[in-house]
Every structure is written in C-alpha cells, then in structure tokens.
Amino acid sequence: MNNDLFKFIKNKHFNELFEYIKNNKEIDLDIYDENYNYFIQYLVLYNEYELIKYILENKTIRLDILDTDGRSLLYNPIKYNYYPLLELLIKYDKNNIGMSILDVRDNSNYTGIHYSIIYDNLKALLLLYSNYSMNYSMNINIDIYELCFHHKRTNLLLYLLENEIKKNNNIDNFVNSKGESILRIALNNDNSKVFQYIINNNDFLKQIINIKEHEYGLTVLHLIIGLDYYDIFVKLISTNNIDINLADNFGNTPLHYTIIDNRLKMTEYLTNNNNINININFNATNINGDTALHLFLEEDKNNNSLLLKLLENTNINIINNKRMTPLHYIAINSLYLNDDIKQILINGKTHMNLFIKTRDNKTVLDLVKSNKEEFINIAIDSYYNVLKNIKNKDLDGWEKYCANDDLNNLVKELRKHNKDKDVKYYCKEQIKKLILENKQSIPSYRELNLNLDNGIYMEGCYYTGSTIDILFGLLYLNNNYNCSLLLEYPLTSNKELESYYMKMGLNYSFKMDFSNIEIVWSYMKLIYPTNFDSILKNRIKNASFIIIPLGIEVSSGQHANILIIDIDRKIIERFEPNGQNPPNGFYYNPDLLNKSLTTKFSELLPEFEYISPDKILPNIGFQMYEVIEENKCKKIGDPNGFCAIWCVWWAEQRLNNTTVEPSLLAEELIKQIKFSNRSFKKLIRNYCMNIVNLRDNYLKKYEMNIDDWINGEYDEDTLSSLEKDVLDKII
C-alpha cells in the first residue's frame, strides 16, 4: 500500500491520490520511501494544499520531521513562498503529535524564522513571529539577528528588534557567545540603520552600552574612538548609563584610546569641564602602568590646552612599568618653564615627588636639564601650598604649624632664635633643606597602615594553591586578626558539590580533601558549603569581619576570589585579584556571578549591600601586575599567578585598615608597591611563606609534607585528626 502512495506522487497523479486516501480511512500516512523522504514532505514540496488540508483535518500525522537534507517541513513553503500552505501547517500544528513545527531546528540549527530571513520572506516571518508571540514564551536569540546581518536583511531585523525590545527581554538575548552586543555587531557589519535605531532608543541603549566582548574587553565606545566617529562618540557619551571609565582587558579606558588613536578632539570633549555629566578617572592606568597623561607626554603631542587639562587632573607621581612618572617627563622636556604648567605645579593640589627613581636610578631632580634652581623653587612652592591646602590631615609638627600659620610654635619647633621673618619664609627655608638634604619633596602625612613586608626570601616556591593552602590561609587570618570564618565539621565533604560534579560528568576523584571550606562557582552555578545559611546567620551575631573563599571553575581551569563581609559597613565585597575583570582568557561570566551572589545575600542579609570588584578595584589588579613580570615560579604553584594567596593578602590588608575605603586602599597599595620598587611576584611569593610555614608545621605533626598531601599519601584517620586539629584552632 505504501508503494502505491509514492507511485501516485512519482507520476504526479495527485487527484487519484486524494481519492485513494479518502477511500482508505485507516491508512497510515506517517511513512517514508526507500530514500527516507516522508510522504508529507512530497506533498509540501508540490504545494498540494487541498490534499494536505484534508489530511490535517482527518488524520493524525507528525509534522516535526526533517528531510534527507536535514531541513524542517517549513523550509519549502518559505523558500517557494507557498504562503497559504504555510498558514495551514501552522494552524494545524498544535493539533498534531510531536514537537511544535515552530520549534523544530534542522541540522544547521535553523527554525522557520531562520529560513524566512535567508529567503527574505517578510510575510512568512510575520506569520511565524506572530504565532511564536501568541503561543510560546520563545525569545528571538542573537543568532537570528546575526543571520539578518549576514544576509543584509535590515528590514526584517528592525521588525524583530522593535518587537523584542518591547517585550523587555533578558539582555543576554542581544549578546552573542563572544560577548558582542547587537550594537557591536551592527557596527562590525557597517549597518548604519540598525546602529542608529539602537542609539536613538535610549532606554535600550542604556542596557547594552557598557557590554564588553570577552577576548579584549572592548566596548562599542572603544571602537567608535578608533573609527573616529565623533558625532556618534558625543551621542554615546550623553547616554546617562555609560561607564566612561570602563577599561578593556588591558586597562585602556576611553580616555586612553583617544590619545592612543590620536583622537584629540574626543580627548578635549572628555576633559571639558562644561560636560558636567562626565566624571573621568584621570588616574586610571593600563597594563603598562600608563595614565592618559603618560601617553600624552610620551607621544609629545602638540596641544598645550589639552596638556594643561590632563596635568591639572592627574596625579603626576604615578609610576608606570618603566618606572617613569609624568613628573619625569616634565623634567626631561623642561615643561616646568611654561608659566601655565608652573601654576598647576604650585596650585596646592599637585604633589611633586622629586625622588622617585627610574630604571636607570635617576630621580626627577637628576633629569632637570636647565634652570635647576627655578625647578627647586617650584618644588618648594608646591610643597608649601600643599601644606596650606591639607590642614585637616595628620601632619608632623613643623608642617602642621606651617599649615596653620602658627609662627610661635613653628619658631620653637625649628629652634629659631628670632621672629624677624614670617611663617612662609621659615616654612620654605625648611622645605628647601628637606629637599636638598633629606631627599623629601612632599608632606610626610600618612593615613594608611600598609604592610608591604616581603617576608622571608624564598628560592623555592612551595605554595600549591590547593584547598589545603586555602584552608591554612584562612587559619592564618583567624590566628592573627579579629575575623570569623564559616568553617564547621565536616570540612572534607560537600554532598551537593559531589552530586553536581557527577551530574555534569566532571572528572572529580572524590579523594579525601577539604571540599567544604569555600563557595564554588562551577560552570556558572553557585554551590555553597553545607549549612552555609545557618552558619552565616550564627557567625554574624558576634563578628566584625567574615572571610569566605570563593573558588571558580571553568573549562579553561580554576581561579580564586574571596568575599569579605564588613559588618560595621554592612557591605559584602568580592575581591578579584586580577582587578575589575577576570583574567584574560578565563571568562567566568562575572555579571552572572554578581547577580547570583546579590540574590543570595539579599535573602540572607537584606540590610547588606553586595559590592562587585569593579566598584573597589582598579582596572589592572595585583595579580595582573604579578603575571606580567618576567620571573615566573618554576616549581609547584600556580603558573598563572598566586590568585588564592593574593586573596589572603588582600584580606589581611583590609583587616589592617578597617576604616579605609577599599577602593582607596587598593589604589594606595599599588602605588606604594611601585614607589618602593618592589616586585609584585616576589612580594606575593615571599608572603605565602606565612601560610606555607603554618601548613607545614601542622603536617609535620602527622609525619607528612606537602608532597605527601598532594600525592594523597595519607589515610582517613590522618585526615580526620588534621581536620579536628584545625577546627579546634578556629572554633
């Protein structure tokens, strides 16, 4: 009987076929020929509307099928514009068995909407989309938009975009797997209509303007600068939600790019005080340690007004990776002879540190080529005016008296025998002496408790970054500071984590280890230690700070962050050792992580605010500075940097400076490390000896070393004893 049906089709005897089907009520039409082509597919190919209508009204037949080319049943009606037939198939789709024909994806992962785009069939698209909208919760994903761009179907794209924006869909539907937003894709494809449509839709633009692609961390604004689209640049800047200081993965902000790409008109727009909505961070540094002012001075750009604007707003003592400050360039190029620049140097806000040394061991003063006496006088005036401007700071004796015009106490402090001169004279005399004899050219006030001790010099690198080292990092903090940890028995078992690994098919050996001491962000899912909620609620009653390690796992490897709960400030901050962004090539979806943590803690601690790394850390973080240094740890340890130990180090700095804003602390720490000419890598390698020594002392009690631990050469009793030993010290 089946062969008879296909013979009718082969001979195109469709009237006879129609009669045959009507006369055989029990006939099965869910059949295919020797080439695996379904019966219904032939009818669709030949646009046999009436016959198909009869079958759909009187038979039960599958429509969720693919032809031998891997295409769905919608392909031919859309390609050949069989519109009535397309309507018919969709009308009866919901009454038939199997998956909806609207949801069927072919071997290229295409649906009917994709076919409509490929064949520029607007009428089909409208029909399919309206049925999606009415009957399904389906969203138009980025692959459909990208197909529109590829085939230059601008009108179709604008229709979809307009309707999808109205739905207020998840913004992720407008971002591809590379992290490129639809605005970026429109720019890549030189599609001005779509680009203009988006930037004129301010509410939508606000949601996507700051999206960074994954590989280089570029935003649309970065690209617009490179392309020199000034009018679009101004339009984007006017968007209320734009992060004007958002840097790429190498730390370059839009201000950096305007100078790198020689778009000085854009630089002028950014630095114009009349643009009150623009709050530029002039001190932002890129991976080379350069501020925008560094770049401007290095390129020797001929724009005096712009130089003055940058100079007025930038800390001229910031040291780049060449150990050059803007003040070094000012000295080398004798820019201090410019009256306008001189006025900025002595304005009472600008500090002039003359004794930062270059790689060649040259101070700023060493680099002054002419009129050295005048330069020293400028430095004296600068020092004096800074004192007058910082009266409320914690100053040393004579500096305090200078700041407050206290002649009597100043004379006593300086042991002067008469008062025939005024305060300014004595102060400047003392400042000159300080510069020439003591090699100090800025006030000596200090507000932060910075501990940059390198510790014990290490020839070997014995920090592994494994969970045992994370555990003893926590124990080190607990032993030395007033902080609480969320550690309770068992430290070695987390059933939820183990179950998740098994479901994901991950290669987890389940060997005895400390698997219950940290929150884990594993492949975009948060797993908490056992009884996390109850332990946190209990600890927070009597704690000042709570320290929680955060392990991160993606296909490219593992990484470490740390959470610090500051009870007095009511904040929960996430520290990312790399800085504002994940390590390059290690994308773990930080936005989703932030949302997940915010949701969790808003339920547990509704009065607390979650703070993400981009709110407290610079673009280039401690670990990034460490990684770019040449001397790598060549023995055991993390070859990409000591992320876990940086987390412990940061927690210690926070606990040492509890009243200091975290953003100020991070900035000052980096500045001091650079100023003291220390290696980030040596600093952190040597710091980890605090944890290594503590760990090894515990292991020695059980006649073990770290090699034994890593190789699993211990039994359950030893692990249990070590676990009890650690918990006794913490709880």
Three-state DSSP string of 206-262 = HHHCCCCCCCCCCCHHHHHHHHCCHHHHHHHHCCCCCCCCCCCCCCCCHHHHHHHCC
Cβ-contact 705, 699 below 8 angstroms: yes
On whether residue 577 sits in a domain, the answer given is: yes
Distance CA 450, CA 468 (A): 27
Report yes or no on 61 lying in a domain.
no
608's tokens: 């607390």
Q: Which long-range contacts (CB under 8 A, 24 or more apart) does 22-25 make?
A: 22/54
Residue 543's nearest CA partner among 488, 487, 484 is 484
Residue 572, beta-bridge partner list:
565, 610
Nearest residue to 384 via CA among 341, 330, 345: 345
Is 365 contained in some domain?
yes
Model pLDDT, residue 556: 75
Residue 610, H or E segment: strand 609-611
Cis peptide before 490 (omega within 30 of 0): yes
In this structure, the answer to whether residues 400 and 515 fall within a common structural domain is: no
Together in a domain, 439 and 360: yes
Q: Quick one: 659 and 575 in the same domain?
A: yes
Beta strands 519-522 and 525-527, pairing class: antiparallel
For the record, the structure tokens of 176 come out as: 């591809």
Of 259, 280, 314, the position where a domain reaches its end is 314
Are both 390 and 423 inside the same structural domain?
yes
Same domain, 440 and 518: no
631 domain residue, yes or no: yes
* 167 assigned to some structural domain: no
- Burial letters 294-326, b for 16+ CB under 10 A, else e: bbbbeeeeeeeebbbbbbbbbbbbbbbbebbbb
Residue 653 domain-assigned?
Answer: yes
Residues in the chain: 731
Contacts of 663 (CB under 8 A, 6+ apart): 615, 616, 617
Retrieve residue 97's tokens.
């068995």
**Domain carrying residue 382:** 334-446
DSSP letter string, 558-584:
EEEEEEEEETTTTEEEEE-TT-SSPPT
Answer yes or no: do 401 and 481 share one domain.
no
Q: H-type helices in 26-104, by residue range?
A: 39-45, 49-58, 75-79, 83-93
Query: What DSSP designation does 520 have?
Result: E
Domain count, the chain: 3
Return the structure tokens found at 503: 């479901």
- Nearest to 256, CA basis, from 319, 314, 178: 314
Are residues 588 and 720 part of one domain?
yes
Is residue 451 classed as helix, strand or coil in its secondary structure? coil
Q: Quickly count: other Cβ atoms within 10 Å of residue 667's Cβ.
A: 18
Q: What are phi and psi of 175, to 5 degrees?
A: -130, 135
Q: Are residues 688 and 566 in the same domain?
A: yes
Are residues 220 and 355 located together in one domain of the fold? Answer: no
Residue 369 lies in a domain: yes
Distance CA 308, CA 326 (A): 12
**Boundary residue ending a domain (251, 280, 314):** 314
DSSP string for residues in 289-322: S--HHHHHHHHT-S-HHHHHHHHHHS-TT---TT
Q: How many helices (H) and strands (E) does the chain have?
A: 36, 7
Of 446, 481, 502, the position where a domain reaches its end is: 446
Token digits for 93? 């789709």
Parallel, antiparallel or unpaired: strands 571-575 and 609-611: parallel
CA distance 173 to 139: 7
pLDDT score of 464? 75
Of the candidates 540, 526, 560, which has an alpha carbon nearest to the alpha carbon of residue 641? 560
In whole angstroms, give the CA distance from residue 651 to residue 656. Answer: 9
The verdict on 421 and 497 lying in the same domain is: no
Q: Which residue, among 642, 618, 669, has the nearest Cα to 473 in the 3D structure? A: 642
Evaluate whether 36 touches 70 at the Cβ level (below 8 Å): no
- Please tell me whether residues 273 and 356 are part of one structural domain: no
- 630 and 547 share one domain: yes
CB 295 within 8 Å of CB 255:
no
Give me the CATH number covering residue 228. 1.25.40.20
- Torsion over CA: 410, 414, 419, 424 (sign): negative
Residue 99 lies in a domain: no
**Regions of the chain short of the pLDDT cut 50:** 134-137, 454-459, 510, 631-640
